Structure 1
Amino acid sequence: MIISKNIFAAVILMGSLCLAIYVNLFTQQTWLEQSYQYDTYTTKSGLNAYTYKGKEILIKDIVPYQSSPINQSALSANNKAPSIIEQWVIKNDKQLVLLKPAFHYGFWSLLPAFVTILLCLLTKEPLTALFSGIVVGAIMLGEYDLTDKVIIPNLASEGTAALLLLYLWLLGGLLGIWSKTGAAQAFANFMTQHFVKGQRSAKFISWLLGILFFQGGTMSTTLVGTTVRPLADKAKVSHEEMSYIVDSTASPIASILAFNAWPAYVQALIFVPGVSFLATETDRIKFFFSSIPFSFYSILAVLGTLLLSLNVTRFSGKRLQEAHKRALQTNQLDAPGAKPLSTKELQGSNVPKGYKPHVLEFVFPLLTLITIAVMTFVYTGTPEVNWAFGVALLMSAFIALAKGMSLDNLIEGFGTGLKGVVVASVILMLAVIIGSISKQIGGGLYLVSQLGEQLPFWLLPVILQLITVIIAFSTGTSWGTYAIAFPLAMPLAWALCQSQELANPELFMMVCFAAVLNGSVYGDQCSPISDTTILSSMTTGCDLMDHVKSQLVPATFAACVAAVLWTGLVYFFA
């Protein structure tokens, strides 16, 4: 059976490489106009400007929209790569918009993501599956020099370098030092003695921490997973259950308790000309919060993890039910044949002789980490996670040295931590690269461009949900999906409001907004190439594909119920 699967995987890969060459040589690119709306203002010197990441950016060389070579008419007429990559234009004699061209290869744009996910499910080897998808996507783009033209440029980007710094050096080093000092085990023992009395209480505390760390994404999964791993292992909670709780209380809760960076990011993508309740940044942020009651998937996902935490497994699916029974009856935290995304060295402690671990060695760095992340978010609008983990790492090291641990033992623990997360860090790096390639070849653009204005209005929320699910699942990013889908979905929703004369257009727009927001979260959460999926597996010590397959059923159940609720809501009340 293994041989046949490997042969089948090889055939799929070879066929995909042939198709990639065909697409590169013979398939015409379809170019589309992408417009971005910023809150612009006039400086004291009379120049137009906008603020980006706290910096004032001056706008120069503004041209009329009709004369731009990258408006949709010009792109459709030329149907080839334009000479410029962006341009500021003025619409209707007053509206400033930034235009950027993008292209897709039709349904072929989905090929790299399709190959990656298929091979990942077939072989359970995410490293080879991700690399195969990268090769297919690079060939489609005509980039045959994978090292110098594909991998190195992506590694050199600020975002990827920050990911590797955080999750390889800082997180890995911190876990390694905690393992060497026995701090994580001491924390688990303390919690077990005072709060955790079994599987249920361990899972409930994990769920509660997921709610408290409502910043979402990689920050939440890393903080919660790192914190609860030792106490959950001590209570013999299966790794599939823990990774599901950590993953499903990250982005879902961030879209409900949205006192974070999400509204500020999303509001810039949902401007629609002529819509009064989306006119200003304040209006769009208010619109975001007003739509929260319609985030049915996120609400159901958080409730689903609460039920699982209370050992109510009716809606969790067969795999999670079996994992729960296995851990309860045999104390086996992983399924047979599982390949957890952390080494055995990080699953216990290797405390030097004569060194006495203390629970505060875990608590002080953890509280410092959380405090820095929260306070930097309050004062700057962005949680400085690298600062938080860096200070926590240094604090753990200084405490260990002050208590008498030798520098050699400390460095040994640090190195063990790096080894423990290196495979997961490589997987994370490859996931970032394939996400970048998928966005570049326009898979999401192709899917959204297939929508038309003639479909029944009550079908639009579900269609938007399905499309954003596919985009997020294929690219492994919810925020990247927002950048693709919102600028196209919101004008389409408003056009349907106008053409079909809906009685309650603001309600309809809120539901469509929630469908895009939640569909992206669901697709990202279930994707094996998502950073949050990988980190949930890594920090809880779960096999990546066991995590993906086990959470697919409860997440899909919540998504289906949400789709029914959205459809009924707009059909009867919009």
Structure 2
Amino acid sequence: MEQNITSTVVESIKGIASLFEKGWVVKTLVFAIFVGSIIELIQRSGGVSGFINFLQKGKRLITNRKEAELLPFFIGVAIFIESSITSLIAGTVSRPITDKFGTSREKLAYICDSTSAPICTMFPLNAWGALLLGLIGAQIEAGTISAEPIKLLGTALLFNFYAIFSILIVLFTIFKKIDFPSYTKVEPINLTDLKKDGDIFALIVPILSMLILVFVFLFITGDGNMLKGSGSTSVFSAVMGSVLITSIYYQIKKILPPKEILTSIFTGAKRMLPIAGILLFAFAIGDVTVKMGTGVYISHFANAILHPALLPTGIFLLSAIIAFSTGTSWGTFSIMMPIAITITAGIGADATALLPLSIAAVISGGVFGDHASPISDTTIISAMAAGCDLIAHVKTQLPWALLSALISVIFFLLSGFLMTL
């Protein structure tokens, strides 16, 4: 018995260590870590307060509640680099404006949350895209399927129904002026030590440089064709380049002294280490499911009892349950993507048509968990940034999240049957 336990532990450690031999895993982990550095630099530099001051000077442009609620929505759409950054900036920047026009903190938290994970998956030039491309690429490398990762992911995103309907429904609540009940009225939470005279470019430079560098490195790694570029290499290079450019800019403008810049970089990176650890274990679980042949086993089982048209719906529901229970969309992606691809590849003639839909079902299910789970990091950050109680945010958001999920189930069913006719 003891020998079996020892062997299991040893093999587990070997399995985790072997992940570092895969370039995409290392690059994704490094990206996740140094995104923390970017967040810390923006917070310490006064970039958020600079943006708030800019809005306050032009606040006459925002004349009613609808326009005030559209502010965090558009901030969320514009900043799609990382879901935590999206929620943090959208909530912190918009809260003074939405408070003025009577929007409840719970509704602000809902808007922030609905434009974090859903938007990040719809515009995957970020760590989300790198992870998804890596997971799909691993299945191509293993010979499970034969496809171009970026093209396959791009097609799948057209069927990312949960993200699409989450975004549309939040716009519906804004334009229809739907009130959210305010269960708690709390004082604004001081998320950062903001400078009184912040520089708006201290926020723009890190984000814009990262966006531009992603496109540049996609072009370089794709030998002139961005569609063939390496997603993991591009986001890794972009975040490192952004840290460097931001540090130089802060030094030239004397926004932060060199010592505080270095402190910010290391402090922010250190705060992301637990998330990187979770990602590493999630990758390990995904690797184990492949080696155990979990997907092959389930594919035989599913083929025996399920009509191929029902497969995407089943994948979405299972992914949603896992994501909601664990609070991690990335962990769900790592577990379910190998299984979903293997199952779909094994159904025969309908595999080619259903493959993008099955991949989209995994993504949608993972986004549901990230959006609705009370233990998701973006759910927690959205509540904090909006200044409302976490449970109040979950209670007021869940009905809308479930509505998006229900509509997604209907569309996955319809799409599944249409593609297998």
TM-score (norm 2): 0.71
Q: 1:471 to 1:493 in 2, by over 3 A?
A: same
- Give the match for residue 229 of structure 2: none
Q: CA RMSD in A?
A: 4.5
1:435/1:477 contact within 8 Å kept? no
- Give the letter for the 1:455 counterpart: I
Q: How does 1:89-238 map to 2 (within 5 A)?
A: 162=34, 165-167=37-39, 169-174=40-45, 177=46, 183=50, 185-193=52-60, 195-238=61-104
Alpha-carbon separation, structure 1, partners of 2:371 and 2:98? 21
The match for 1:485 is: 336
1:531 aligns with 2:402: no
Equivalent in the alignment of 1:147? none
- Percent identity, please: 23
What are the Cα deviations for residues 180-218 of structure 1, in whole angstroms up to 9, with x where unaligned?
A: xx645522322312x211221021132123222333533
Q: Find the aligned partners of 1:242 and 1:85 in 2 and give their Cα distance.
A: 45
Residues 273 and 345 of structure 1, relative CA distance in 2, 3 Å threshold: closer
Alignment of 1:455 onto 2:305: yes
Deviation at 1:253, TM superposition (A): 2.4
- Change in Cα spacing, 1:244 to 1:390, as seen in structure 2 (3 Å) is farther
Deviation track 1:259-285 (CA, whole Å, cap 9, x = no partner) reads 45345334314438777xx424x3x32
Structure 1 372/431 Cα, relative in aligned 2: closer, same or farther at 3 Å?
A: closer
- Distance (whole Å) between structure 2 residues aligned to residue 370 and residue 305 of structure 1: 24
Q: Structure 2 matches for 1:76-475, cutoff 5 A?
A: 82=11, 85-86=14-15, 162=34, 165-167=37-39, 169-174=40-45, 177=46, 183=50, 185-193=52-60, 195-260=61-126, 261-262=129-130, 264-271=133-140, 278-280=145-147, 282=148, 284-313=149-178, 321-323=180-182, 335-336=184-185, 338=186, 342-343=189-190, 357=197, 361-380=198-217, 381-382=234-235, 384-385=238-239, 388=242, 452-453=301-302, 454-457=304-307, 458-475=309-326
Q: 1:568 to 1:350 in 2, by over 3 A?
A: closer
Structure 1 residue 564 and structure 2 residue 410: aligned?
Answer: yes
> In 1, distance between residues paired with 2:53 and 2:150?
44
> What's the CA shift for 1:299?
0.9
Aligned residues of 1:508 and 1:570 also touching (Cα < 8 A): yes
Q: Which amino acid aligns with 1:536?
A: S
The structure number with the bigger radius of gyration is 1
Residues of 1 paired with 2:115 and 2:276: CA distance?
Answer: 22
Q: Greater helix share, 1 or 2?
A: 2
Task: Tell me how far 1:430 sits from its aligned partner.
Answer: 6.6
Q: CA 1:369–1:198 in 2, change beyond 3 Å: closer, same or farther?
A: farther
- Match for residue 224 of structure 2? none
Q: For the structure 1 residues 473 and 223, does the alpha-carbon distance in structure 2 shift closer, same or farther, using more than 3 Å as the test?
A: same
- Work out the CA distance in 1 between the residues paired with 2:243 and 2:37: 10
Residue 239 of structure 1 deviates from its aligned partner by 2.3
Alignment correspondent of 1:62 = none
Decide whether the 8 Å contact of 2:133 with 2:153 is kept in 1: no
Amino acid in the other structure paired with 1:382:
V
SS at match of 1:512: helix
Please give the per-residue CA displacement for 1:538-568, whole angstroms capped at 9, x wherever unaligned.
3333333332332221111111111111112
Q: Write 1 or 2 for the structure with the bigger share of strand.
A: 1
Code of the aligned partner of 1:372: S
Contact 2:213 2:241 in 1 (8 A): no
Aligned residue type for 1:220: T
Equivalent of 1:551 in 364, 373, 397 = 397
Q: Is the 8 A contact 2:83 2:378 kept in 1?
A: yes
The 8 Å contact of residues 232 and 242 in structure 1, kept in 2 or not, is answered as: yes
Q: Is the Cα–Cα contact under 8 Å of residues 210 and 250 in structure 1 kept in the other structure?
A: yes
5+ residue gaps, structure 2, are 23-28, 218-233
Alpha-carbon distance in 2 for matches of 1:84, 1:214 = 34
Report the CA distance between 1:492 and its aligned residue: 1.0
Query: RCO (CA 8 Å, sep 6+): is it higher in 1 or 2?
Result: 2
Measured after TM superposition, the shift of residue 463 of structure 1 is 2.1
Instruction: Confirm or deny: 8 A CA contact 1:187 1:230 kept in the other structure.
Output: no
Question: Across the two proteins, how many residue pairs are aligned to each other?
Answer: 376
State the distance in 2 between where 1:560 and 1:245 align: 19
Q: Where does 1:14-93 land on structure 2 (aligned, <5 Å)?
A: 82=11, 85-86=14-15
Specify the SS of the correspondent of 2:305: coil
SS of 1:322 mapped into structure 2: coil
User: What CA distance in whole angstroms lies between the structure 2 residues aligned with 1:239 and 1:432?
Assistant: 30
Return the alpha-carbon distance in structure 2 between the equivalents of residues 160 and 258 of structure 1.
14
In structure 1, distance between residues paired with 2:94 and 2:395 = 22
Contact map agreement 2:106 2:181 (CA 8 A) in 1: no
TM-score by length of 1: 0.54
